[in-house]
Structure formats: structure tokens, C-alpha cells
Structure 1
């Protein structure tokens, strides 16, 4: 099993070196090992039984995840560094994970409409950042999308939500902190489809302010100011139009966000295009990018990378316990999601390394 590979100890030593206490580092390793090796549902009790013979392991693991005050951000940084060293990341992808829940006590749980399924469910929403590297899309960090009804002070206190928690948009943008160094003259672009989850204009503004290149899915009713190109001549000069009316069958188009929605200094030229003939899991719809000179095929390849991200989220849910967190607290949720990312990243990269070793031995 993956956790028994000789590389596992080196991996966990690096990831957990910033956790201050030795017993916490040991339980972090046990938790990741449990995520890797426990079949079926990844409850604390089942993982403890699968990995150790201790009668108190389940209680210790539960305490470690839900109550121990260790920071998860340094571990996310170590995951990012590990991925950057082992692969050649080409883009960031940002995607939502819908985590169904019973009751209303778990942090961030609420009823909401899910665009992908057309259903309303009781759930938590996690927004994940992933590094796309060829056929692999590897999770790095997570932000919980807290709805307005979680602004109540007493409810936040019970869930141990920090008082300095950022806005949903800033929470997503903060996932991109620690971007790997450039491997070429181009920075890695950000690709995201968060329509129905976050304000698209606010997301675009935030990415521009932080100097990210991006390809972002936009809703049909996003208002755009036509630029100087063929499609613009079909619209009244200076009149904002809906994105769905903006792109015709012959061309993509250059556009601006209307000045009424743009803060000073953020007026930029964007390119709007439609992803047609979507199939085999490839995203369709309308997309806006600030990379106006990139070839169209490159933009489509970036959009298609989201299909692989969706596949990764499915594997995280099915095989790595993404939906199996049993606690109710904000820190506990982030602890669990971070260690799920660590387990998945180790599984994918260790498998690749072992395959390379076997191929070299055969050669």
C-alpha cells in the first residue's frame, strides 16, 4: 500500500516539520496513513483501527483533528513546494466541492442550489486550489465558503471561526498565495468556474489587483462594454451588452467591464469566447480572459483542464475521505481538508515515482 512506501516518511517529515509538537506530528502521519489505507468511509474510528493497535488512537486522532491548535497553512505551503519540485505545474485551477451534511450544526452548513446538479442540498461548500501539471491535477489548499447566515457572532464562536476571517472572494484569492516560481517568461494562469458560487465581477477585479493572468467562466448576463472588433460593430457604440449577446458564431471578442463596475485603475481589455461542442466532461459556456494575445487553442486547453480537476475532486470524495469529516469546527474542517490533500498528493506522486523506478529497472 502507498503508505508503506519508503518515500512516505520523507514526505511526512517535510510536510509536518512546522507542527511544533512531536506527538502532533505523529498523529498527522497516522491520519494521512489512515486516509491512504483505510477502505471505504474514512471515519476517525475506522482509520485508527486500520493503522494502529492502540485502544486510545481514535480518541487521540479526534482530538488532534478537532481540538489541537496547529496551523494548516504551513502544511499547504509544503504541499505546494513538494508538487512544484516533483512536477511541472502549468496552471492553477479553482473549483468548488459540494460536501453534503445532515443537520445544521457543522460549520458553514446551509441549504443552497447547486448549479451542476440543478438541486438544492444541505451542504458545506469548499473552494479548492489545484496545481495542474499535465495529466495530474493536485490539490493544494481549501477555503470554506461561509454564507451570510453564518455571520451571527454566537454561531461563529461555537464553530471557532476566527474573527479576522476574510470575505469569500479574498478567501479564494488567498489560496493563490505562494505561487511557484516561473518556469518560463509567462506566469501560471488561474482557471476557474465559480458561476453560481461567487460574484464574477468581484473575482475578476481581485485577480487583476493581484496581477494574475486568468481564464474565468462568466454568466450569460454579465455586462460587458464592446471593444473595437467585428462583434462590437453589431452593438450600439458604448452600450453595455450581456455576455451571451456579445459572442457570435464567427468570432471571439474584445471587451471591457463597464466603468460602473470597475474601480479606478482596473479598466482592462479582456477577451470573451465561447467553449463550443463541449463533451466528454469538457466545460462549455462563456469565458473571459485577460490573456488577449494567447492562441485560441491554448485558451481552450486551459478550460479543458477543469474537467481533470472535476475528476480529481471525484477521487478525493470517493477514495480519500473528502466528505467524511465528522467534526463541526472551522479549524477541524481545514485540518481534515489539508490532510486529505496531502494524502492524495502523496498517492499520485509516489505512484509516479515508483513507476519511474520500475521502468528504469526494466531498461
Structure 2
């Protein structure tokens, strides 16, 4: 099926270099993040927790973190700090975003839907759903993260938990996590995340998202609701409007010349050269269909981009964007960052405990994900230094 074959290939993302050395950069990061805490004890616990996420082997439960740190008596204090202590995750996330942008503005903001397997007997926000990264039904949490992405580093900066219709424990938690009135729809979570990065970071870069899976139509409507440049990978059955009829994405590509007089096909190498691993692309002008808001959404012109990795009848990837056809090449280059973010979630993200929160508190989940995002960047800095030493370069 269109859009289900091999991706464009991973981005070659250099990790965040430590200009003053890894230890100095980690200290600068922690100083920036800990400035968001009002009390000295909170700053101690935050640093403890991030260090524990980096050092603990296996599951990053609070009990395991306390044992790894050699302070099992601190387990209760750490649990209270994450689940009930009053501190605002938005302040820490904003500081993390600012730290990342010190090395340069984001090349793209990547919205990443993820599935987190249930981690304990009582875990907030668990439901049965189709996993976006495993293509099967799982029992766990559905979450959406927004990531800073550049050629230097990819890292998560903000998160939302997509709750089921009856979240039994969301209203019991206290503290400074993002307020959720009722049950937010997935598209509302996306809008909130995009609002986060527009407030905190550089507003110009495009927003990228893999929109395939559940709630695709709602997410696409939310992504293209504003004026921010955006692009989403879609599946072959996405309903689109071309001319005066509704077609699916794969039908649109099969009939590009019928949908738009601006058919454009060319071949190029993945690195821009004409001779290595050719890729063919074609574009068409379409609109979203079936969003339920015809006046604002269905009349908005979008560009459908088909990408062929080899000589096949159907494209290997389908992309939908509000950027014009002339931006197709830059979109393909930026799309590699989407794959780099996915790799980061599966590898470094798993290593620092982004999937390991155990607890009933919604605010506790937000605090854990915030501190784990900080640990992610600490790990990236250390990895950059290790790579520099192994290659003989000065960090």
C-alpha cells in the first residue's frame, strides 16, 4: 500500500557538541533547568532524579533510582517530588528549549505520536489502542511529544498524554502540570504542543509529523489549521479532495495529472547528486476532505507529494504539506529529521526512561517526562564528547 514501504533513510544528525567540554555543558544545562524550581530541596531532587535516570540499569522506577543512587531512604522523597510537589513543568520545558536553541534555531519541530506499554499495576491514561510504532493493538498509554530537531541534535521538549474517555485518576493529581479540562482529543493535544513551541522557540521552522494511524484526519486538521509551515506523512487511504471529488491518497497519486495541471516529476540522489540511489517525486494540489469544517479546512489548498524509491507503480511515501511545490526538495531533506526523532525515541529515549513512568498521577507523568527529557539532552551531550574522544578530536 502506498506510504508503507521503506522510508527515506535516517538523517545524519550530529549530536550536540560540548564547546566547553561535556561536564561544563551538562552543568550549564542543569543550571538552566534547575532555575525553574523555587526551593533548594526541589533543585536537589530534580538533579537526583535526572542523574538516576541516566545511571539506573533496567526499568527507571523510583525505587530503582533511589537504590542506584545509594539512598533508598530517599525513595519516598523522590516519589513525593514527582507526584505531588508543586513545580511548573512549563517553566522547565521552556528552559530546555532555550538551551537547545543556544546552539542554533531548530530546523524543524517534530510532533511524534508514541505508544508506551503499561508499566505498572496502576498507571495513568492506559487504554487499548493501535500502536503507531508497532502497527498492532496494545494496552498502554498514548502520548504525543514535540521535539527540537536540527542537524546538530534531536531532543524532546514537551509532552501531552492522550487520555481515554474515562480517565479514572487524572483529576486526583495535584501540582503544576498542564491543566486538562475534561478529556482532550488528540488534535487538541497537538494544538497545545504547537502552542508551546511557538511561545518558547523560533516560530519559523516547519512542523513535521507522521500522521498515519488512528485519528489521522483530526491530527491533519489540527496541523494545518494555522499559518505555520507544516508537513505530515500520510497513508494511502487518507481522504483528500481533488477538483470536485473526494479521493484517497493513493488514488490521488495514481491520477496526479487529473488532479492538477502542475504535475512535476524528477529524479535525484538521496544526497542531492544525480547518480546515487535515484528518487522520483511528483506533486499535486489537493485539499483535506471530511474534516467537518468545510469553510476553514476543506477549501485550504495543500500539496500532495509522492516519493518513489525505486521503479514501482505506487510511491514509497506520501506527504501532505501546506508549503508550495517549490519546497518539495527542502521538505524531503527535512523529512529525514522525522526519522532521526523516531530513532531517538526508540534508542536514547528508552535508555533515559521516557517509557518508564509508574503511577496514577497525571501531573506526575508530566513531571517524569519533563525530567526524562532533560536527561535525554544530558545523555546526548555526554555521547557527543565520547564520540569526539573516540575519533581523536578535542571535545
- Which bin holds the TM-score, normalised by the shorter protein? 0.7 to 0.9
Q: Give the alignment partner of residue 71 of structure 2, picking from 25, 31, 54.
A: 54
- State whether structure 2 residue 259 is matched by structure 1 residue 242: no
Q: Is the 8 A contact 2:154 2:340 kept in 1?
A: yes
| Residue of structure 2 equivalent to 1:178 | 197
Matches within 5 A, 1:300-315: 300-315=332-347
Aligned-residue CA RMSD in angstroms? 3.1
Q: Which runs of 5+ in 1 are unaligned?
A: 228-237
Q: Distance in 2 between matches of 1:67 and 1:109?
A: 20
Q: Distance in 1 between matches of 2:393 and 2:330?
A: 36
- State whether structure 2 residue 66 is matched by structure 1 residue 34: no
- State whether structure 2 residue 175 is matched by structure 1 residue 157: no
Question: TM-score, normalising length from structure 1?
Answer: 0.82
Q: Is the 8 A contact 2:190 2:223 kept in 1?
A: no
Aligned length, in residue pairs: 339
**Structure 1 residues 15, 270: closer, same or farther in 2, change over 3 A?**
same
Q: Distance in 2 between matches of 1:9 and 1:260?
A: 47
Q: Give the alignment partner of residue 20 of structure 1, picking from 33, 38, 49.
A: 38
Q: Distance in 2 between matches of 1:112 and 1:348?
A: 31
Q: Distance in 2 between matches of 1:59 and 1:127?
A: 29
| Residue of structure 2 equivalent to 1:9 | 27
Q: Distance in 2 between matches of 1:313 and 1:122?
A: 19
| Residue of structure 1 equivalent to 2:321 | 289
Matches within 5 A, 1:220-235: 220-226=236-242
Q: Give the alignment partner of residue 255 of structure 1, picking from 270, 281, 286.
A: 286
Tell me the SS of whatever aligns to 1:212.
Answer: coil
Q: Which runs of 5+ in 2 are unaligned?
A: 1-17, 257-264, 266-281
* Higher RCO (C-alpha 8 Å, min separation 6): 2
Q: Distance in 2 between matches of 1:163 and 1:133?
A: 30
Question: TM-score, normalising length from structure 2?
Answer: 0.76
| Structure 1 runs of 4+ with >4 Å offset | 159-163, 353-363
1:237-294 deviation digits (Å, cap 9, x = unpaired): x12222210013863211123487444344322110223339xxxx953211011143
1:210-237 deviation digits (Å, cap 9, x = unpaired): 321111123433332225xxxxxxxxxx
**Structure 1 residues 115, 199: closer, same or farther in 2, change over 3 A?**
closer
- State whether structure 2 residue 229 is matched by structure 1 residue 213: yes
